[in-house]
Amino acid sequence: MLLLLSGVSLTLMGCLAGALLAWIPLSPTGQAPSLALWVLFPLFVLGGYVLAVMGARQAHWRGLTLGLGAVLLLLALSCAVGLLLQALGAWQPMAGSAALWYVLALAGVPGGVGVAAGERELVSE
């Protein structure tokens, strides 16, 4: 149970780091995100997910995969909206859009795979 709680906590902190990494370029302050956010986002999400799966039962694993996949997919979609607004000229990030591309790439693929895997497992039962 401790592995599950630690893993979920780390995963949530990783998602928060990813959200901050995506939000800082969108904010009007124009600050660049810190290097720690660039490192902690994938490290906490991946490490937390591994810990959570190690401590989870089979039924929990499916829910964890679907839940984390949904959060990551929403994070990736929000970055895609920001990049689309930039491409349309409706918004220009002060600090550049590298962080948005980074979060889009690192959250989009695992998010889509997590949602697909979690839904497939639920449907097959």
SS3 90: coil
- Separation CA 58–CA 33 (nearest Å): 37
Q: What pLDDT score does 105 carry?
A: 95
Residue 124 scores a pLDDT above 80: no
The pLDDT tens digits of the residues spanning 21-55 come to: 988 877 777 788 899 999 999 999 999 989 988 88
Residue 35, both tokens: 């290097």
* Per-residue model confidence as pLDDT tens digits over 65-93: 889 989 999 999 999 998 999 899 888 77
Nearest one of 21, 2, 15, 23 to 69, comparing CA atoms:
15
Q: How many residues does the chain have?
A: 125
For 13-28, b/e burial (b = at least 16 CB within 10 A) is: bbbebbbbbbbbbbee
